[in-house]
Homo-oligomer: A and B are copies of this chain.
């Protein structure tokens, strides 16, 4: 059984996936579970995951990703959508999350801390950052299962909004391309440890 550092070392941003090699439903479920268990400040989980496996929708999303080969050849895509309007301290969403997290205890102190932290003009950037936690979990889970993956941050946001019917108050943070990598990862390049 591979360990965490194995997954970390095997994870690689694959740019080309094998045609016709699907990601199974159980693999997709594990990927979403890994993302669902990611950390988030105040336990707000400011994300939604959209799973895309149908050919037509995949093609439309790949096109919105400027036809990058990773998106165009992926067997499946997971779109990580950041929730922004839901994070307003007075939203029903925040109340539900805080009440669940408080487990019946008083929510006054977490509300006080959150109101001090929350800035309307910074919340979108903050939600985007949090979505990267979920993405990192999914990318490692993919590597752990022997799947290739590629996080895609370069896309036409308006086009994705239209294809996926993303409502106002939410936006696409990242697209994760998934599949079986068509080639062997080259030796990893990184800055030195020091």
Contact = CB atoms under 8 A, between A and B. Distances in A.
Contacts of A133: 132, 135-136, 151
A148 B138 CA distance: 21
A8 B141 contact: yes
A34 B132 CA distance: 16
A113 B113 CA distance: 41
Contacts of A58: none
Interface stretch (A18-26, A163-171, A184-192): A184-192
A71 B176 CA distance: 33
A172 interface: no
Contact of A33 (B34, B137, B151, B193): B193
Given A2-B3, A117-B154, A191 B36 contact: yes
Interface residues on A, range: 35 or more
A100 interface: yes
A41 B151 contact: yes
Oligomer copy total:
2
A32 interface: yes
A43 B128 CA distance: 19
Interface in A135-194: 135-137, 139-141, 144, 151, 153-154, 173, 186, 188-191, 193
Contacts of A41: 151, 153-154
Given A3-B2, A130-B132, A141-B8, A189 B101 contact: yes
B190 A37 contact: yes
Given A45-B190, A103-B189, A193-B32, A8 B154 contact: no
Given A4-B4, A5-B30, 9 more contacts: A2-B3, A5-B34, A8-B37, A32-B193, A43-B189, A103-B186, A126-B153, A133-B136, A140-B140
> Which 7 A-B pairs have CB atoms at the shortest separation, nearest pair first?
A136-B136, A132-B132, A4-B144, A125-B125, A129-B132, A133-B136, A100-B189
